[in-house]
Every structure is written in C-alpha cells, then in structure tokens.
Amino acid sequence: MTGLIAILRGVTPAEVVGVGRALVDAGFPAIEVPLNSPEPFESVRLLADAFGERCEIGAGTVLTTEDVGRAREAGARVIVAPNSDPAVISAAVAEGMTPYPGVATPTEAFAALAAGARHLKLFPADAVGIGGMKAWRAVLPREVELLPVGGVDESNLAAWAAAGAAGAGLGSCLYRPGDSADAVAVRARALSEIWRQE
C-alpha cells in the first residue's frame, strides 16, 4: 500500500459506509479503523464488504495477536500499530496481511524489519520530523516504505511527500467523530490533490 491512509478514529458502524464511500471516491487507497473506536470489527467488516475490491481496509491500534486474527476475520488486509511488537508483526504476516508497526527510532525500525515488516509507520511523525525521516531513508533498505502518522495534515503533507514518504496516515485533519460524509469528502479531495501533485 502506498499513498494516503484515512484513519477513522471514533467512527461508528452506522456512519462508516458513508464516510468510506467519500474516501474511496476521493481516491484514498486505504482506510484504517482504530480498534479503540466503537464496535471496530463491525466497521472493518462493513468497509471490507462495501469497498474491499477498491480499497485496502485495515485495523489500527492493534496491540495483540488475538486482535490480528479478529481483524482478519472481519476482512482487514492491513494491520497498523502504534508500537512494534514482533508477535503482532509475525501474526499479521502469517495471516497474509500487511503489518505497519509503529516506530520512532532507527533501532525500532530495524527490529521491526527483522520481525518481518516491510512497511513502517513513523510515529509520532511530528516528533521525528521530516529531517529525521530523511536521515532514516539514508540507512533503511530502499524498498522499505515509510508512512508518517501523527501531525501530518494539509500544511505539511507536500513536504513529507517530497522527503520520500511512501504515503501518510491522516487522522483528525480528515475525520473527527460525528463529521458528515460530505465534510469528509471535501477534505479528502483536497488532501488527495496535494498528494497527487507531489
């Protein structure tokens, strides 16, 4: 997965398909439902049923191997975590899913790669900074994709892309609990346009 991933923290099953449609129509290649949202596995299932052929559906804030299995059963193909747990990475790989473990240092990044990850969530991105990511790019294997998450928004998305990010996780700048699908659509189109220009 490369490109923008929509992080729908706090989304409910009642609204997830409408919001998901707005994101897919705007060209988002991936949607993540964090597991600390209401009924997250149901939201993952609804998204996978509605858009799984057009978009990669993921579960986020995945902290246990049990949740990897539950996410897979719901139809998720991507596992996103705020931390780098070798057991979660291995479980995701064994299930044929793509893990995005959260890493904040080069040491964590290389440990995640050793555990089987090939894509890394740079988190919190605003703490590492664009300069930090550029330094990482110099030492990480070229094929490793870096996805900055945390503090990425319309004001700095282009700079992250120019620095070599393979994509970005977009949370509150795109969706907040209770936002209408129409409001999300407007923001999604604007963010997609910024990304496409880079």
pLDDT at site 1: 53
Under the banding of pLDDT at 50, 70 and 90, the label for residue 88 is: very high
For residue 124, say if its preceding peptide bond is cis, omega within 30 degrees of 0.
yes
Q: Is the pLDDT of residue 198 over 90?
A: no
Say which of 42, 56, 66, 121 is annotated catalytic: 121
Q: Is the pLDDT of residue 190 over 60?
A: yes
pLDDT at site 109: 98
Question: pLDDT tens digit string along 45-76?
Answer: 999 999 999 999 999 999 999 999 999 999 99
Q: Exposure of 96 by Cβ count < 10 A (0-12 exposed, 13-18 middle, 19+ buried)? A: exposed
Which amino acid is located at 81 in the chain? Answer: A
User: What residue segments make up the domains of the chain, in order of their start?
Assistant: 3-196
Under the banding of pLDDT at 50, 70 and 90, the label for residue 117 is: very high
- Specify the pairing of strand 98-100 against strand 119-122: unpaired
pTM of the model: 0.96
pLDDT at site 116: 98
Active-site residue 121, yes or no? yes
Q: Report the mean per-residue pLDDT for the chain.
A: 97
CATH code of the region 3-196: 3.20.20.70
Active-site residue 134, yes or no? no
pLDDT at site 47: 99
Residue 57's CB is within 10 A of a number of other CB atoms, namely: 26
Say which of 15, 32, 56, 145 is annotated catalytic: 32
